Structure 1
């Protein structure tokens, strides 16, 4: 059942994907309130009551141009929000303020009633851990490449020797600066000779390399799946978007069923899966980004992704 309240969009100022969805919602005359948690105390306020009103919570979230009743928000699109760091405060005060922003504003938003979350931030966080992703995918019958998560040099070298061609991935993308330059960690090949005792500091993810002919990105909005084959000669296709070609493909029904079951397991309304397609036509599960980018795929393929997400947000929780 379609609700009548506003759709809330939590994201940073520069977010083209959110812009696309908001434009479509505006075209449909669906009210939207957009905000970024980092603006709390400047252009964002929240006021919520518990225990004194029938609605839980009762109150409002306000920006300079919009006000929304918390109990009336039909859906929350948790896109690319950032949290305030309060860098103008002393370190102890900044830590205190940052914690209260997350647990105050965040806690109120997480408690929204009758609201469809795309996705609920706490469920996003629960689904982000790659070891848990791998275990869940395997339990659901998806093909998972042999993978080792370890900080034991002996085990790592034994794994590399056993599987021959092995790649290294980060367990979580983390902002990293070298001077004024932002650095990105890519998926890279690794050999037994190139790993050393430094791996003991933290666990690392090593995976047998799939003999792939293409990558596949699958974007899910509700129960609608959109699969795009990405062809290139790159191990990590993110390194050079100019070297990629795209084509829309159909997935085997059993694979579609497994991917939807995966999202249901984590309580997610949407997600972006990365798969590898091998020379025999087999699909290998690589990872899920609970809040992955998809805007450029619509540009490249014409897939109605914006419409699908607007439909989902407009419908709210049925």
Structure 2
């Protein structure tokens, strides 16, 4: 009997969602090698040879408990890996070392020919730009709230005046502290009076507020769609998970088709979509997270999301 080829799982140390997928793979007797790039050194080593007669890429990834032949990798689940920061080094040395890991370890994995990527990190990165998402959503026929990305204060004030109820969103979530306290960027209301010259420092995203009845989180994994309606009464439901009720729903066929087309446009095999449903029952695009969280939704609804990922990684 041929031994199962292993799945590489790249993620941080504490990742309950990855644990759920690994449990599904274990049930199928599929070997798993889990690693985190931040462990590079004695806890993680990588080696690869090029220009030999063996294969275009031949090498190994070794952790404290596993050793994997890179030519046998079946799939790579690029979940929530953390790159090393090297805080013990000077700033210049740390930047240099971090770049070598990204382009060394990352480059070796990207060079592999054959594994199924869920998702390839370069594809994730390309899909992570909100302006590109908004344009894609409109092209594939989804309703997109009027949105302005600008660092021009006058244009921002004009947009808010025209649309009345407007929210501000970050263009990308980034770890941030103010006076030593972690700060998260929520979707928050903004008025024209709040716009000052500091807007010029960087582009901002302003969006007309949807008169929503509820939010909808949709997970797609390998063509399987799981849609959950989230009733919270909050502008940004992420502020208080305890305030929600969850309902499994079926999306209109044209919405399903559009979401699959969006993933295909960005070359992704999985993704988490945030939609809003208004009081007329119409669906509005909000955003795509190429590697969004979904584990808590499986726990709340019983949807077999982790099994869908295991199917995708072993197909």
Shared fold (TM-score, shorter chain, > 0.5): yes
State the 1:45 CA deviation.
Answer: 0.7
Give the match for residue 253 of structure 1: 253
Give the match for residue 177 of structure 2: 177
Give the match for residue 57 of structure 2: 57
**CA offsets per residue over residues 184-229 of structure 1, 9 Å max, x none?**
1110001111111110110000000000000000000010000000
State the 1:23 CA deviation.
Answer: 1.1
* Contiguous gaps of at least 5 residues in structure 1: none
State the 1:235 CA deviation.
Answer: 0.1
**CA offsets per residue over residues 168-197 of structure 1, 9 Å max, x none?**
000000101234421111100011111111
CA distance in 2, matches of 1:248, 1:309: 18
Q: Which moved more, 1:13-22 or 1:88-97?
A: 88-97
CA distance in 2, matches of 1:49, 1:64: 22
Give the match for residue 47 of structure 1: 47
Q: Which moved more, 1:235-244 or 1:173-182?
A: 173-182
CA distance in 2, matches of 1:31, 1:76: 12
Q: Do residues 229 (structure 1) and 229 (structure 2) align?
A: yes
CA distance in 1, matches of 2:118, 2:197: 42
CA distance in 2, matches of 1:238, 1:42: 38
Q: CA contact under 8 A between 1:176 and 1:182: conserved in structure 2? A: yes
Give the match for residue 217 of structure 1: 217
CA distance in 2, matches of 1:72, 1:8: 10
CA distance in 1, matches of 2:56, 2:218: 36
CA RMSD, Structure 1 to Structure 2 (Å): 1.2
CA distance in 2, matches of 1:182, 1:137: 32
State the 1:137 CA deviation.
Answer: 0.8
Give the match for residue 294 of structure 1: 294
How many equivalent residue pairs?
314
Give the match for residue 13 of structure 2: 13
Give the match for residue 111 of structure 1: 111
Q: CA contact under 8 A between 1:56 and 1:71: conserved in structure 2? A: no
State the 1:232 CA deviation.
Answer: 1.1
> Please, what TM-score do these two structures have when normalized by structure 2?
0.98
* Contiguous gaps of at least 5 residues in structure 2: none
State the 1:269 CA deviation.
Answer: 0.8
